Amino acid sequence: MALEDAHGAHNYHPLPVVLKKGEGIRVWDVEGKEYFDFLSAYSAVNQGHSHPRIVGALVEQAQTLALTSRAFYNAELGPFEKAITERFGYDKVLAMNSGAEAVETAIKLCRRWAYDVKGVPANQAKILVCSDNFHGRTSTIVSFSNDPDSYGGFGPYMPGFERIPYNDIAALEKALQDPHVAGFLVEPIQGEAGVVVPEADFIPRAAALCAAKNVLFIADEIQTGIGRTGSWLATCGNCQCGGGRCERQAATYVRADILILGKALSGGVYPVSAVLADDGIMMTIKPGQHGSTFGGNPIAAKVAQAALEVMEEEALMQNARARGEQFRDGLKARIGHLSLIKGIRGKGLLNAVLINDSPESSTAWDLCMALRDAGLLAKPTHGNIIRFAPPLVISAEEMDEALNRMEKVFTSFEQSH
């Protein structure tokens, strides 16, 4: 910690624990103490820490060929592109590295489509976003944030975005009257805002409104995708898919025009992100107009294929459904009555506990410190909300033990304050 403080930028405020090893839902610090990881690197480690199949794919490919750039073809990218487009039902994919890069890619695709296909006058395309959004921290993305910590002091800001309230169909319908609107970029569940779950009909109604106005519906599933909410995608709604693959069930499935994936696409062992769309959108970008030296590299392609296969073969989205219900029902029964608790919400294994204190208080942080001491790692978001998102491999027995630890910490905290 002292070395990071002395030699690293101070752009994060980590919980004071130094981790050295991970396996499944467990991590160990440098002194050998074991913890349950209930953050999963912000939902990147859905398949569990150090999954042998995913790590094996990384090691095998790293020993064979790591990087070619896109100046040449490589033997792994094509199979990955076929695998991911077939799984999610799109014509094309554009592979990138970080989530923010993928969002930037989606923005460029949307704007180019607006000018080349929709016929929006040059430099007048507008993209709708939601209040309290989090899509990354690039200069473009913070331009449409309403979080002062994200945008403050980083102007001038990129024009071409309009913010509307989240989960507000009337506001979206009004904004869509502008013929220059090209796309609507939205998180199906707002993770950084505190796991804000919209009304069940918000996403399907929003997508339908966009389709009616020839506006691209852009789903940022970087945190919610790859099984986290109990479905392959949060835009799948309350699906009942029984197999490993997304069945795109007509009763619940909403298809985004542009789908953004990242984080757990690699199981957390390598930076991999992806933007999926059909030819009418994707092929508006030509050679030389967008790219990345590392995007689609052989290691990334091999690792992502393994990560997707693990999700399917181990039925992790179904486990996320079951364990998520166990978590919420268990917490409500054990600590829901405490005056310390304002609410418990979430979907699948993306959940949050709302603390009955102000966003400026230290209560959520203090609770996370107490949880750390009890062997469970979580992190506050927005001051008075604690996010809980363990790896999707968590068992019923492990969840029971986690609930026991949380009950003791929250109950003891209330009694002593």
The answer to whether 116 is a known catalytic residue is no
Residue 263 among the catalytic residues: yes
Q: Which tokens belong to 33?
A: 């103490």
The answer to whether 386 and 379 have CB atoms below 8 angstroms apart is yes
- The DSSP H or E segment spanning 5 is helix 2-7
pLDDT category at 389 given cuts 50, 70, 90 is very high
Mean pLDDT of 140-145: 96
| The pLDDT value given to residue 243 | 74
Active-site residue, 220 included: yes
Structure-token match 């709708």, residue found: 128
Cα–Cα distances (Å) from 244 to 56, 84, 315, 378, in that order, read 21, 14, 5, 28
Pairwise CA distance, residues 279 & 259, whole Å: 13
Q: Is the pTM of this model over 0.85?
A: yes
The pLDDT assigned to 382 comes to 80
> How much is the average pLDDT of 359-368?
94
- Catalytic residue (choose from 80, 184, 220, 257): 220
Q: What is the mean pLDDT of the chain?
A: 96
Q: Could you tell me the domains of the chain?
A: 2-50+316-416 (3.90.1150.10), 53-313 (3.40.640.10)
Instruction: Give the pLDDT of residue 252.
Output: 84
Indicate which residue of 37, 144, 217, 263 is catalytic: 263
pLDDT digits over 280-289, tens only? 999 999 999 9
Q: What is the pLDDT of residues 39-75, one digit of tens each?
A: 999 999 999 999 999 999 999 999 999 999 999 999 9
Q: Name residues whose C-beta falls within 8 Å of residue 280's C-beta, 6 or more positions apart in sequence.
A: 113, 117
Residues 392, 323: Cα–Cα separation, whole Å: 8
% of the chain residues with pLDDT over 70: 100
Predicted confidence band of residue 379 (pLDDT cuts 50, 70, 90): very high
Length of the chain: 417
Which among 88, 134, 184, 388 is annotated as catalytic? Answer: 134
What is the signed CA dihedral for 170, 172, 174, 179, rounded to 10 degrees? Answer: -160
The model's pLDDT over 246-284, given as tens digits with 9 standing for 90+, comes to: 778 777 889 999 999 999 999 999 999 999 999 999 999
Place of tokens 């490919």: 61
- For residue 101, the surrounding DSSP H or E stretch is helix 99-113
Q: How far apart are CA 116 and CA 109, in angstroms?
A: 10
Contacts (Cβ under 8 Å, ≥6 apart) of 407: 334, 335
